[in-house]
């Protein structure tokens, strides 16, 4: 999925419908590693496809695991099981783990205990995320693991002789108060060495994020590992433990990702008669700790019901109620409470969140800064955050939100688009959501509702071959907006008419209008389908272009296509190219461009375009054709081609494509309210 450099979200009003969430990141990466350590193959269903699971999968492939994907929902991973580790004397196996803590920590432990020669590295931020307590615990055992950069942080080198004895007769001590991932890493790695004896881990300090340990324990059990435990202080892996693939394993949808939609359901009004939002793939009995977010959301006012596999959310108390909460049990989802606090009466206090400081970014500082940008007042401490929302609608600001390469910052702050002031919101670098939820914005905007007038439209009208389509597509891509190529609809009508043996002349107006009104058309990112047939090329011929120009003269045909064109106005916005976008179809559009170029220039461009497709023609013929088409478009009675009164004129004769794009984006930016 290509994300733009920023995404502007218009003010949102409601949510309704259903949303299907991607698989849990925590479960996905644990299951991948456990399957890799098992004998035989594991079929994993519902695996999350994101940056973090991709780096884990790449690493497992490099380690020798086989990976097959029979379809989009299933992945079969062949485990390493009893196969011998690579020699510690050979060249290192280099593993790049991006910014995935759920890959770096468990792999470091698993490979140190497996033996071999490895180098584990990640992005710059990963090299700032602590791993010293885990490394120390492994060094206590006698594992040969060292830092390749700053002590206490990745990158790491592991050079471990698999045959060398390890100090496994006493309990391994590991700190639990910095990251629970250190304990998870040891719990998943140690069963490799538990065939002959039982192995114990002792947690030093108060364990944080206990629910993540519960996920680890539940999954260890699924893979055949038996444990004895004393609360969260001591864990003993029983002698004879060995990883067995469970065969098939279904990954639950991500409970942390659910938190954004739970919050949206609690914040956004839904139309009378609608039941709010249904969240599918994760339910009330989830094994993920972040499911307890629903208790906090309920305390703030959300109405949440559900079953084992889904949740139903709607707004209850309004405004929301401010809460004071120890968030140790929901460290990731708690960030969403900070966004909900924007809509609460009073000050919300989130405590015991020190772990936020060592995540993808310093989340306490980042959250305080960005909520402040929206008009909230925040007080940030070492391990707490207090949020007082903007006093009233007048105190909200149209903000340009920094996301710090942190997916959760982007997703949480997107909820500010429901602000009562009706202000749009800009999210910078929205692509960071790919870490756990690549389709997040499509999912949110797919269930969000707002008045059509709030959805911005940029109209680009002009004569044939002036570059409208090229410009419109580039502007839409840069803004993350939808695209309407209205000429394609007239071309489709002409093609459909030809297929039905109906000529494009006025005598057939009623039949042509009927065909236009019921075009069985489907657009995807790059192709156009008519009655299930890919007609992307068929509608682009000069002959169909000429017939399109003829059918477009007919008022009944034009009216028949209006509703279809309005249907393209979807969140977050639209760039529409044609002849009457600014004058007839979207007369209230906030930006209208009338794009021209000299007839000679347009004929030359079209000539070049056709030659590149292997179609031979002359510039003179093309010029005559396009002038005839322009004359017909400009002189027709119904919706003639002309600049809208408030259109900006752009002559591209002397401009490159990039220059026209920059010019339009410059005009667009100048009209946006975002403070920098």
Ligand X SMILES: Nc1ncnc2c1ncn2[C@@H]1O[C@H](COP(=O)(O)OP(=O)(O)OP(=O)(O)O)[C@@H](O)[C@H]1O
Ligand Y SMILES: Nc1ccn([C@@H]2O[C@H](COP(=O)(O)O)[C@@H](O)[C@H]2O)c(=O)n1
The footprint of ligand X on this chain (CB under 6 A) covers a number of residues equal to 16
Residue 116: phi and psi, rounded to 5, are 130, -175
In angstroms and rounded to an integer, the radius of gyration of the C-alpha atoms of the chain is 29
Residue 605 sits in the site that holds ligand X (CB under 6 A): yes
Residue 656 sits in the site that holds ligand X (CB under 6 A): yes
**Cβ-based nearer residue to ligand Y, 13 or 552:** 552
Residue 491 sits in the site that holds ligand Y (CB under 6 A): yes
Tokens standing for residue 502: 């109906």
Residue 462 sits in the site that holds ligand Y (CB under 6 A): no
**Cβ-based nearer residue to ligand Y, 419 or 552:** 552
Written as one string, the DSSP assignment of 320-331 is: EEP-EEE-TT-T
Residue 582 sits in the site that holds ligand X (CB under 6 A): no
Cβ pair 412, 385 in contact under 8 A? no
Choose, by CB under 6 A, the member of 136, 140, 609, 617 that binds ligand X.
609
Residue 545 assigned ligand-binding role: no
Residue 121 sits in the site that holds ligand Y (CB under 6 A): no
Residue 465 assigned ligand-binding role: yes
Tokens standing for residue 27: 């479960």
Residue 504 sits in the site that holds ligand Y (CB under 6 A): no
Pairing of strands 227-230, 234-237: antiparallel
Any idea what DSSP says for residue 643?
A: -
**Residue 160 site contact among ligand Y, ligand X, none (CB < 5 to 8 Å, cut-off depends on kind):** none
**Paired residues of 234 in beta bridges:** 202, 230
Please identify, among the stretches 90-98, 275-283, 338-346, 653-661, the one whose residues bind ligand X according to the rule CB under 6 A: 653-661
Cβ pair 119, 90 in contact under 8 A? no
Catalytic residue (one of 332, 461, 577, 625): 332
Residue 580 sits in the site that holds ligand Y (CB under 6 A): yes
Choose, by CB under 6 A, the member of 22, 265, 545, 582 that binds ligand Y.
545
Cβ pair 27, 219 in contact under 8 A? yes
Residue 470 sits in the site that holds ligand X (CB under 6 A): yes
**Residue 652 site contact among ligand Y, ligand X, none (CB < 5 to 8 Å, cut-off depends on kind):** ligand X
**Cβ-based nearer residue to ligand X, 246 or 469:** 469
CA dist., res. 228 & res. 567, Å (int): 59
Tokens standing for residue 336: 């969403």
**Residue 466 site contact among ligand Y, ligand X, none (CB < 5 to 8 Å, cut-off depends on kind):** ligand X
Pairing of strands 344-345, 591-596: unpaired
Residue 66 assigned ligand-binding role: no
Written as one string, the DSSP assignment of 438-471 is: TTHHHHHHHHEE--GGGS-EEEEE-STTSSHHHH
Cβ pair 201, 171 in contact under 8 A? yes
Residue 259 assigned ligand-binding role: no
Cβ pair 253, 23 in contact under 8 A? yes
Minimal distance, residue 455 CB to ligand Y, in Å: 19
Tokens standing for residue 628: 């005839």
Minimal distance, residue 656 CB to ligand Y, in Å: 21
Tokens standing for residue 390: 């903007």
Written as one string, the DSSP assignment of 46-113 is: S---SHHHHHHHHHHHHTT-EEEEEETTEEEEE--TTSPPPPTTSPPEEEE-TT-HHHHHHHHHHHHH
Residue 578 sits in the site that holds ligand Y (CB under 6 A): yes
Tokens standing for residue 484: 């309407």
CA dist., res. 546 & res. 538, Å (int): 13
Minimal distance, residue 620 CB to ligand X, in Å: 17
Residue 280, classed as helix, strand or coil, is strand
Any idea what DSSP says for residue 629?
A: H
Residue 222 assigned ligand-binding role: no
The footprint of ligand Y on this chain (CB under 6 A) covers a number of residues equal to 15
**Cβ-based nearer residue to ligand X, 397 or 605:** 605
Residue 181 assigned ligand-binding role: yes
Minimal distance, residue 539 CB to ligand Y, in Å: 8
Residue 375 sits in the site that holds ligand Y (CB under 6 A): no
Residue 470 assigned ligand-binding role: yes
Residue 579 sits in the site that holds ligand Y (CB under 6 A): yes
**Residue 552 site contact among ligand Y, ligand X, none (CB < 5 to 8 Å, cut-off depends on kind):** ligand Y
Choose, by CB under 6 A, the member of 192, 403, 419, 552 that binds ligand Y.
552
Residue 660 sits in the site that holds ligand X (CB under 6 A): yes
Choose, by CB under 6 A, the member of 200, 355, 414, 466 that binds ligand X.
466
Choose, by CB under 6 A, the member of 487, 504, 573, 582 that binds ligand Y.
487
Residue 310 assigned ligand-binding role: no
Angle of CA points 445, 332, 417, to nearest 5°: 30
524 catalytically annotated: no
Residue 464 sits in the site that holds ligand Y (CB under 6 A): yes
Buried b (16+ CB within 10 A) or exposed e, 488-500: bbbbbbbbbbeee
Which residues does 220 contact at the CB level (< 8 Å), separation at least 6? 34, 187, 188, 191, 227
Minimal distance, residue 461 CB to ligand Y, in Å: 7
Residue 25 assigned ligand-binding role: yes
Cβ pair 237, 198 in contact under 8 A? yes
Minimal distance, residue 626 CB to ligand X, in Å: 8
**Residue 629 site contact among ligand X, ligand Y, none (CB < 5 to 8 Å, cut-off depends on kind):** ligand Y
Choose, by CB under 6 A, the member of 548, 593, 595, 664 that binds ligand Y.
548
Cβ pair 183, 174 in contact under 8 A? yes
CA dist., res. 566 & res. 484, Å (int): 10
Chain residues that interact with ligand X, rule: CB under 6 A: 464-470, 487, 605-606, 609, 652, 655-657, 660
Chain residues that interact with ligand Y, rule: CB under 6 A: 464, 486-488, 490-491, 545, 548-549, 552, 578-580, 629, 633
Query: Catalytic positions, please?
Result: 332
């Amino acid at each position: 999925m290509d994300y733009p450099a920023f995404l502007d979200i218009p003010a949102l009003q409601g949510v309704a419908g259903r949303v299907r969430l991607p698989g849990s990141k925590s479960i996905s990466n644990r299951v991948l590693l456990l399957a890799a350590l098992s004998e035989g193959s594991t079929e994993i269903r519902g695996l999350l496809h994101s940056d973090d699971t991709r780096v884990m999968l790449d690493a497992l492939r490099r380690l020798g695991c086989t990976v097959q994907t029979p379809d989009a929902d299933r992945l079969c991973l062949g485990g390493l099981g009893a196969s011998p580790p690579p020699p510690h004397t050979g060249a290192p196996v280099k593993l790049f783990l991006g910014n995935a803590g759920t890959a770096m920590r468990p792999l470091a432990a698993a490979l140190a205990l497996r033996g071999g020669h490895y180098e584990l590295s990640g992005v710059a931020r990963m090299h700032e995320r602590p791993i010293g307590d885990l490394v120390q615990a492994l060094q206590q055992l006698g594992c040969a693991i060292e830092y390749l950069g700053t002590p206490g942080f990745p990158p790491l080198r592991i050079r471990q002789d698999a045959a060398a004895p390890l100090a496994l007769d006493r309990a391994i001590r590991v700190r639990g108060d910095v990251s629970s991932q250190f304990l998870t890493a040891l719990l998943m790695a140690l069963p490799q060495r538990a065939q002959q004896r039982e192995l114990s881990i002792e947690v030093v300090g108060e364990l944080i994020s206990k629910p993540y340990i519960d996920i680890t324990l539940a999954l260890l059990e699924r893979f055949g590992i038996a444990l004895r435990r004393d609360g969260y202080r001591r864990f003993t892996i029983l002698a004879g433990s060995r990883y067995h693939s469970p065969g098939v394993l279904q990954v639950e949808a991500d409970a942390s990702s659910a938190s954004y939609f739970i919050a949206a359901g609690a914040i956004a009004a839904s139309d009378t008669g609608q039941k709010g939002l249904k969240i599918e793939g994760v339910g009330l009995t989830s094994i993920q700790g972040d499911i307890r977010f629903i208790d906090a959301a309920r305390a703030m006012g959300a109405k949440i019901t559900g079953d084992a596999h889904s949740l139903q959310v709607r707004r209850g108390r309004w405004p929301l109620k401010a809460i004071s909460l120890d968030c140790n049990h929901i460290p990731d989802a708690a960030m969403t409470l900070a966004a909900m606090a924007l809509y609460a009466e009073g000050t919300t206090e989130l405590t015991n969140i020190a772990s936020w400081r060592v995540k993808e970014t310093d989340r306490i500082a980042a959250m305080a800064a960005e909520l402040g940008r929206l008009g909230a007042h925040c007080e940030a401490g070492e391990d707490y955050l207090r949020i007082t929302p903007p006093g009233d609608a007048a105190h909200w600001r149209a903000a340009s939100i920094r996301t710090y390469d942190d997916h959760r910052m982007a997703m949480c702050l997107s909820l500010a688009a429901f602000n009562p002031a009706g202000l749009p919101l800009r999210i910078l670098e929205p692509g960071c959501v790919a870490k756990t939820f690549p389709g997040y914005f499509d999912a949110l905007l797919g269930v969000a509702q707002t008045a059509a007038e709030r959805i911005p439209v940029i109209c680009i009208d002009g004569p044939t071959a002036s570059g409208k389509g090229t410009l419109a597509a580039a502007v839409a891509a840069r803004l993350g907006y939808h695209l309407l190529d209205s000429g394609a609809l007239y071309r489709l009508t002409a093609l459909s008419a030809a297929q039905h043996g109906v000529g494009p002349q006025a005598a057939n107006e009623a039949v042509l209008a009927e065909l236009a009104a019921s075009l069985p058309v489907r657009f995807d990112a790059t192709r156009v389908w008519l009655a299930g047939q890919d007609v992307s090329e068929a509608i682009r011929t000069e002959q169909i272009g000429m017939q399109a120009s003829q059918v477009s003269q007919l008022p009944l045909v034009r009216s028949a296509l209006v509703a279809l064109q309005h249907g393209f106005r979807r969140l977050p916005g639209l760039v529409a190219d044609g002849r009457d976008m600014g004058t007839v179809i979207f007369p209230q559009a906030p930006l209208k461009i009338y794009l021209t170029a000299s007839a000679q220039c347009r004929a030359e461009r079209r000539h070049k375009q056709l030659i590149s497709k292997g179609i031979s023609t002359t510039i003179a013929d093309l010029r005559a054709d396009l002038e005839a088409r322009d004359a017909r478009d400009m002189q027709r009675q119904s919706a003639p081609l002309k600049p809208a009164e408030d259109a900006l004129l752009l002559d591209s004769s002397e401009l490159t494509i990039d220059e026209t794009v920059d010019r339009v984006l410059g005009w667009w930016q100048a009209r946006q309210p975002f403070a920098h």
